[in-house]
A and B are shown apart, each in its own frame.
Chain A
Amino acid sequence: MKSPAFVVLLAAVAAIPLAALRAQDSAGGTTNVSISAEGEAVYRQICQACHMADARGGSGAGTGIPALADNPRLADKAYAIDILVNGSGGMPWFTDMLTPQQIAAVLNHVRGHFNAYPDPVTVAEVEQAIAAAGGDS
């Protein structure tokens, strides 16, 4: 093994502990990325990253990312709302990225366009689920 050109930093280096420890490696600034209010566009801008443009999902090292199209579980709108508000496994919660309006709009797109469930998700239902989860949206 080659000897590494490396110097161990034995000297303890003083550091400035700020209250907010930066938990993860991340970019050094803040971005202004806007998200549409409209369900189809929210799907394209956010959900399609994982569930794919055709909402057919895809396979991975586990079962992969589920299809949202023709998905019988989404008949239960309370289930669909719960998934977006609280997350589930690899599916993150979206309450800190999307407003209740956007969540309702995208669920209506998913349940109406990629499936044919007629009963709309209302903003009030999303807000209730958020409140039940202990948030103030």
Chain B
Amino acid sequence: MPAASDLTDQIAVPTRRQLLGMIGTMGGAAAMYQAMTALGHAAETQFTGPPVLSGARPGASVVVLGAGLAGLAAALELSRAGYSVQVLEYQDRAGGRNYSVRGGDRIVEVGGATQTCEFAPGNYINPGPWRIPHHHRTLLHYCKTLGVELEPFIQNNHNGLIHRSNAFGGQPQRYKELAVDFKGHVSELLGKALNDGALDGKVSAEDKEKLLVAMREWGVLDRNMAFTPSIALSGQRGYDIPPGGGLDPAPTASTPNGLADVLSSNVWTQMGFYFNYVMQTTMFQPKGGMDQIAAGFMRQIGAMVRLNTRVAKIAQDASGVTVDWTDNATGQTGQTKADWCVCTIPPPVLSQIELQASDALLAAVRAVPMNGQLKIGLEMRRRFWEEDYAIYGGHSFTDQAISQLSYPNDKFFQDGPAVLLGAFANGAGALQLTGMTPAERIEVALDQGSVFHPAEYRREFISGVSVPWSRMPWIQGCTSRWTDASRAQHYTNLVTMDGRVVLAGEHATYYGGWMEGSLLSALNAIEQLHQRATAA
């Protein structure tokens, strides 16, 4: 039985105890942070450089199934080690989920719905991966060595907007105002609790003094420990009249929102989001589209990749592996034989292909369904979010199905059309959008996104595309769904080499949902393969 849920939740006004619980969590994180900085570092991903595979037998061959990042990295490293490598890929492009959609590209869904992207030259949307944390060392290693130029991904934009349907009468608020107000109210409450002696049994007198100072400074409270308007506070949340020059009027303070309003905004979910290890700045994106990473691999090993090749059967015996395939373009069928196989086909598809392997492996493949996120790219005539809202990259969040808008992180201040992410839906919201026609999805995205930019959104809209991951024929999902129970029962079976076949990919790692995990999985898989191949 799955325990974890990635789905909807309801807004509940927290009780006082819950509030204090939240503060405790933040205090805990801060304390942990101190401890970690004292140690000098925190653990990063388990990458110390690509494996050095020496002593491959001359002529030994490997067939790699799937040309996503896992397959491409496996192929690159195995060929460097001296193996003869052939990659078979179903689509007419390499990269898999490492994918960007540009003007002229066609998106064909299970069920046949077809879109043709109409974006202007140079514009694109990354419907899958889009951000790279600074600690994803494996991916950064390949970007550097493959000549993939990276630029900043604006993750945390304090000037982005937060919308919740039943907060502030449905009016979006600036993140910085809500976050500063949340911090201020929580500080004031903790200050009161401390001054009332409510925590005297819990903290020492010395810590109580320090905490009171911390709450006053951190929350920007007044000398009575109250959260009130001041120029100092406006220095964080913004002014009513901002500082000017010369004879301009003096700045005036803005007024913080009340506790109940701030709580109804759920702003702590965004604040907490930015605390996540994988969501922390600095983040990067490849210049010109995420698929530049796949392009970098293809510059090295493109000649080994056979596109348009649908793997239909994977057989193995004591002498080798035989893969049956069909050419999507010509209908021609064929077989590829090799000594070993690295299979990166995502589980929803792999579970529907004849695979000769142990029952334990087959059961593991059947135990990993996928989440079905959906993204929408909208091309707008001009960068109104920059020109009219001073939002440069980053996100605005909503509790509607589209979940968020994200603004382009490149080409700031330029004239002409630009593409924003008009939906990054997950859970039930993603399925609801996926079940619609492409035109209906765009209509919903325009409708829901208009809460942020009501005057401009429809007026500046040119065209849009949606990528519903559950309906991408080559994957039928987006990111794999493990539970504690399925991990315990199946994970080791899934990732352990089975005869001559080893699985790799986003499903075969503890770092699911990230390109880093796909690469780490591929490197581990080829180490297993190499060990067996050289021991044989």
Contact = CB atoms under 8 A, between A and B. Distances in A.
Report which residue of A17, A32, A61 has the largest number of chain B beta carbons within 10 angstroms of its beta carbon: A61
Nearest to A46: B431
A17 B8 contact: no
B371 interface: yes
B7 A97 contact: yes
Nearest to B472: A60
Contact of A95 (B2, B140, B513): B2
A30 B278 contact: no
A102 to B, nearest CB: 11
Contacts of B371: 24, 92
B348 A62 contact: yes
A60 B7 CA distance: 26
A78 interface: no
Contact of B352 (A4, A12, A46, A90): A90
Contacts, number: 253
Interface string B16-48: 000000000000010011001100111110000
Contacts of B370: 90, 92
Bin the interface of chain B by size: 35 or more
A58 B112 contact: yes
Given A31-B8, A33-B429, A97-B7, A9 B369 contact: no
B110 A59 contact: yes
A80 B56 CA distance: 49
Interface residues of A, number: 62
Contacts of B280: 15-16
Contacts of B143: 4, 6
Interface in B465-499: 468, 470-471, 473-477, 479, 481, 485
A8 B135 CA distance: 11
A6 B149 contact: yes
A29 B278 contact: no
B203 interface: no
Interface of B: 1-2, 4-11, 29, 32-33, 36-37, 40-44, 90, 109-112, 129-131, 134-135, 140, 143-144, 146-150, 162, 164-165, 266, 269-270, 272-280, 282, 299, 310, 345, 347-353, 365-366, 369-373, 395, 397-401, 403-404, 424-432, 434-435, 468, 470-471, 473-477, 479, 481, 485, 512-514
Given A15-B277, A92-B481, 8 more contacts: A14-B36, A14-B37, A16-B29, A21-B278, A22-B276, A32-B400, A49-B432, A96-B5
22 contacts: A2-B149, A6-B144, A14-B41, A18-B272, A18-B275, A25-B514, A26-B426, A28-B395, A29-B266, A29-B398, A31-B399, A33-B428, A45-B432, A49-B431, A49-B468, A57-B110, A61-B90, A61-B310, A62-B352, A90-B352, A96-B4, A96-B7
